[in-house]
Each structure stands twice: as structure tokens, then as C-alpha cells.
Chains A and B, each alone.
Chain A
Amino acid sequence: MRGTRAALACGVLVALAPLVVRDAYLLDGLILILLWGSAGAAWNIAGGYAGQISLGHSAFFGLGAYAVGVLATRWGASPWIAVVVGAALATALGSAIGFLSNRLRGPYFGLATLAVSQVFLIMTSRLRTFTSGSEGIPVPFRPGFWTLGIADKRVWIYLILALAALLYLVELYLERSRRGYQLAAVREDEDAALSLGVPARRLKVAAIAVSAALTAVCGALWAPYVGFVDPLYVFSVDLSIRFALAAVLGGLGTALGPFIGAALITVLETYLRAHLGGLGGGLVGIYLIIYGVALILLMRWAPQGLLPWLGELRRRWAPQETAP
């Protein structure tokens, strides 16, 4: 319950922020934290709750982003429709990948998902007919809510906060509900779970499909915010790792974890950009070196992530609290 109260507090703070903060740069940072946190939370559904570590979630993110790019540019459709289309496509792809998860354990599933995201990357950056190739697609800015042409960052904050809240609630559901318990059993020991009547295979597919759909929604909302869809970014391995890192850093399989992780990552990046901006291209390299080293250190010292690690510390340091 402690976690939910903290989350609620954070949510309230974020909701109040636009009323107090005027600096567009800070607001932008907050929006990105919420967005990457949401994407991390979506990844967490498959990776943390269902135990299926995907290294190719950028495939779904990109699908959502491209849905908006293509539908908005080619057919002038509202991005909201694209969100739905992207989510639907991602659900289909996610289900197919979910099927794969039943045949492949651990690293093979990771490799397979990586391969899928790279197929998307190559195809979208080479095919010019549908997706404008490696130039990417600019998302036209047409003012209005229906067209997601929103210049005021404060409105974006509420929009993305709503997305974040949705994801948080989905995660909570996975912690407290019957399906959530069953998933926990599947990730602990799939065969034992099967022997107790848990429909492990169906659950894994469902978890991955939901994770895929929600990741696509994140991508679909990101595209109009940023205004441009670049295939080399949107389907990149680095992006997939970023989603996983947010969850792993903050707390794999915890509801608030991905948001904490995303906050740390975004703050770090902002700090680095401010102080080392002169490096240009090398700057991205520096964040990534830090992420790589962070992953190695995390796996060594706190493989479940920061929140569970802090929880462990608290338990070890304050046993007196529970003594009579």
C-alpha cells in the first residue's frame, strides 16, 4: 500500500506542476519522464510481470509512431485514429511474438524479439513507397485537440499523465488480480503453474499482446509531440533497451519502478546534455556507455531494481520496528 500512496503523491505533484512551472524546458523534461516511464511500464507488463524479457519492444513503439506518421501525412486522418490502428496492429504482432515466447525461453526470446525489431528497422528505412525510407516522416502540426496539434506543453502534461495513470493502473491490476497472481506463478515456475491449472501459455500471449498495444500507444502519442518519425531511431535497439532499462532500474515487476527508472534516466540525460553538449554525436554514446555500465552493475548488486533493493535495505536495517 505504501507504493500506491507514493504513486498517488507523485501523480498529484505532476498534475499541479503545470500550474506552477512555466519553463518549457522543465515541462518538456517532465513529459518525457512520463512518456518513457509509460513505455517502460508497458514493457514491464511483459518483462516484469510475465517474465518475458523482450529486447525488441521498439518494434511496437515504432509501429505506433508510424501509424500516426503514415495516417496523418498520407490520409490526413486524426492521430487518435492512428493510435487505435497502431494499437491494433501491435496487438496482432504482439500475439504472434507471444506465440514465440511459448517456444523460446530466456535469451532466445530476447534474440527473436531483437531480430523482429531489426526487420522493421530495415524495411521501413529502405522502402520508400509506404514509409518514405530513411528520411522518416514529419508529423504535420494541425492545431486542435482532435489532430493532436497541441502547442501548449501544459496540455501535453495532462495527456501523458493520463497515459501514465492508465499504465500504472494496468500494472496494479497485474499485481492484485487473479490473473496477476497466476502470472507471478508462471514467471516463478511455469510447469508448476501449469500443474495447478494456470493457463500459462494463454496468459503469456495475452500479457505480451497487451504490452505491445500499450507500447504502440506510447509511440503514437510520442510522434505528434516530437513531430517527426525517424525509422533509425524509432525501431532502434537502443530504444528497446531504454524501455527495459527504465523498468529494470526502477524495479522489475513493480508498478512505480519504470517511472522511477525513467525519471533517473531522463534527469541524467538532461544533465549530460547541459554539461557535455559540445560533444555532439558523441554525447549519445556517453549516455549509452553509462546505461551499459549501469546494467552490468545493477545485475550485480540489485538485479530486481532499485525499489525492491531499497525495500530489502529497509528490512535489514529496521527489524526492530517489527519486534514487540
Chain B
Amino acid sequence: MTRLSVSGVTKRFGGITANRDVSFDVAPGELVGIIGPNGSGKSTLFEVISGFYRPDAGLVRLDGARLTGLSPDRVCRLGVARTFQKLRPFAGLTVVDNVMIGALTRTRDVRHARAQALDILGRVGLGEKAHAHARTLSTGQRKRLELARALATEPRVLLLDEVTGGVDQRSIPGLVQLVRELHRGGLTLLVIEHNMRVITALSQRIVALYLGEKIADGPPDAVVRDRRVVEAYLGQAYASPPEGGAR
């Protein structure tokens, strides 16, 4: 039983093929990490899955239902939520109002949405900041806000784009712990991450992309040692010889 299935997704922009025939499945409750050097098509993949881009080929399905071709808001209502790499809080609104926008997708009642929002803010550790304006938050707090907002839509699958990017070292473990708790709560997650330590610690499985293609798909230890992955990140000279490798 697959929660999210990505099959044969190809996306071109003029002369550049950002995603070339990318396929993988995500089981319910799985946490899959997506890695790859810059330009490998990770964010494009998220844009395709969440409905912001229409792929030139391929399909994305959520619990069997087709997502490709639907508008982003429909995709969200069907159960896929996401965060953005470049944070996009609703700067003119308060923190709780921000989260309410997400909650209002699931409930019509403004008061109920507010209660939900406050609850989620508590869970992500932003309870005290509920009535502050979103623009007064630090980067780490904004990351949590973005997460809280997406969670408020009660997603079946959550796409996290660079959750630790730009966050100071001390705040990282807290964020990682949060993601882990969400995972333990049964949420299916797809996480793009550059920080190798974070991603190998969190993921049950890693999909590696390079120049638009999937080059590896498996448990973290295996993928990290995969020849093609090392080559992609560090160049051919560093690819470890087939028998054994330094670690």
C-alpha cells in the first residue's frame, strides 16, 4: 500500500531537464530523505508533487488518487502539505493567524481554527509567540512557524524543504527532534536536506538525485557510500573503490 507514488516524472525548462524520469514510492508513515547537490532537481520535484509545476511526463499519486494536473490548493486539500526553502511567512499577520490559514482549510469555524492553531503552536514550541507578528521571528522560529502552518492542514504527506537551512547550530537538534516526533506520530514525510548528519539520522530511506535523475534509493548507510552519490558530490577522484571504503 503506497501512500505517495512518483512515477516517471520529467520536467523541462527550455533547454534544461530539471527532473528526468524520476520514480519512487513512499509507504505510509515512512520518512524518506531527498539529497543531491545543487541543481539536481530536488526542489523542482517538490514543486511538481505539490502542484505548482505540471510535469512534462509522469504521474504523482496520493493513495492511488492522481495529483498531477491539479492546482496546488487542491493538492493540499487532498492531503499534501509543504514548506518552502525560502521561508514565506505571511509577514503582515500574527503567528497564530498564520497557522490559522492552514487550519481554515480543514474547518470553517474561525474559533475552532484558532484553537487548533494555538494547539499546534504549542506542539512546535512557539506557544509564547502566538500573538507576535510573524516578521518579528528569528529564522529558527520561522522554520517552526512554516512547519506549524503546514501541519495545520492535517496532511497525509508533508514535504519539508531544507528544514535546517540557515538555522544556527544550536537550534538544529530541536528542529530535528520535532521532525522525529512528527514522524513517530505517524506522519509520512519527504525531507530535502543538505545537512548529511541530519538526513542520515532522520531517514529510513534516502533517494539521491543528480542532474535531474535518481541515482540511488535505499537505506542511508548504503546510499551515502554509493559510488555514484560520492561522485556526484565530490567528483570522480573521491569515489571509493568497489571493495571497502573509508568510514
- The reply, when asked whether chain A contacts chain B directly with Cβ atoms under 8 A, is yes
Residues of A within 8 A of B (CB): 176-178, 181-182, 184-185, 188-189, 191-201
User: 7 more A-B contacts (CB under 8 A) besides A185-B90, A185-B93, A198-B104?
Assistant: A177-B110, A181-B100, A194-B71, A195-B50, A195-B73, A197-B102, A197-B105
Alpha-carbon gap, A176 to B113, bound state (A): 12
The stretch among B21-29, B77-85, B175-183 that forms the contact with chain A is B77-85
- Give the most central of B90, B91, B102: most A CB within 10 Å: B90
Chain A binding surface, main DSSP class: helix
Question: Could you tell me which residues of chain B, from 86 to 141, have a CB within 8 Å of some CB in chain A?
Answer: 88-93, 97, 100-102, 104-105, 108-110, 113
Count residues on chain B whose CB falls below 8 Å from chain A CBs: 30
- Give the most central of B81, B100, B104, B109: most A CB within 10 Å: B104
Given contacts A176-B110, A181-B110, A191-B52, contact A197 B90 (CB under 8 A): no
- Considering only CB atoms, which chain B residue lies closest to A179 in the complex? B104
Alpha-carbon gap, A193 to B101, bound state (A): 8
- Top-5 shortest CB links A-B: A197-B105, A197-B76, A188-B90, A194-B72, A192-B88
Q: Is the CB of A198 within 8 A of B110?
A: no
Residues of B within 8 A of A (CB): 50, 52, 71-73, 76-77, 81-82, 84, 88-93, 97, 100-102, 104-105, 108-110, 113, 149-150, 152-153
Q: Is the CB of A189 within 8 A of B104?
A: no
Q: Which one of B101, B149, B150, B152 contacts A181 once the chains associate, using CB atoms below 8 Å? A: B101
Q: Which one of B93, B113, B149 contacts A178 once the chains associate, using CB atoms below 8 Å? A: B113
Q: Is the CB of A195 within 8 A of B84?
A: yes
Q: Which one of B71, B92, B110 contacts A188 once the chains associate, using CB atoms below 8 Å? A: B92
Q: Which one of A177, A189, A200 contacts B73 once the chains associate, using CB atoms below 8 Å? A: A200
- Considering only CB atoms, which chain B residue lies closest to A188 in the complex? B90
Contacts of B109 in A (CB 8 A): 178
Contacts of B150 in A (CB 8 A): 195-196
Q: Is the CB of B71 within 8 A of A192?
A: no
Q: Is the CB of B97 within 8 A of A198?
A: no
Alpha-carbon gap, A130 to B92, bound state (A): 48
Given contacts A178-B104, A197-B105, contact A184 B84 (CB under 8 A): no
Q: Is the CB of B71 within 8 A of A201?
A: yes
Alpha-carbon gap, A189 to B93, bound state (A): 11
B139 CB, min distance to chain A CBs, angstroms: 16
Contacts of B113 in A (CB 8 A): 178
Alpha-carbon gap, A185 to B84, bound state (A): 15
